[in-house]
Structure 1
Amino acid sequence: MTFTTGDRVRAKSVDPPHHTRLPSYIRGAVGTIVGNQGAHPVPDDVVRGFSAPAETVYAVRFTAGELFGTGDHTVTVSLWQRYMERL
């Protein structure tokens, strides 16, 4: 699945027993794709010694209200494709 700028996505709500680059504070939150940052190996796999083919990383913007309940600013996070689902 690929995403394009403007797509609304939800960060997956998972808590794996291993290292992950999916920040806990965005799990389950809804954001908007604001850019494509190219393809890179997924650190979750690399640190466990697995073959890590490149996967697209996206810049995803979340509102502070969505993440923290208050605030009028935004937070932009780099997320690998596997961490998101399209709305």
Structure 2
Amino acid sequence: MGTLASYDQSVEFFKDNLGFGEGASYVSRFFAATSSLPFDYVKTQIQKMQPNAEGKFPYTGSLDCAMKTLKAGGSLKFYTGFPFLFI
């Protein structure tokens, strides 16, 4: 959703205001990475979690993972790997 809508709007903007459509894919990539990366980060953390010595997992679910990540690393922690996804 973030990719298609932002690409379409970017092409319109560039053509109407600058006279060319190139560059819209970069704008689209930015919005796609920005909108999907937090969800992908949480999903990856859930997939990688291992039980501790007592056999308990560090997260009870996606929301718990997101809240603990936000508390421990701040909101920018969700965007780990942003440059690689953008490129």
TM-score range, shorter chain: under 0.3
* Higher relative contact order structure (alpha carbons within 8 Å, sequence separation ≥ 6): 1
More strand by share: 1
More helix by share: 2
TM-score (structure 2 length as normaliser) = 0.21
Q: Which has the larger radius of gyration?
A: 2
TM-score (structure 1 length as normaliser) = 0.21
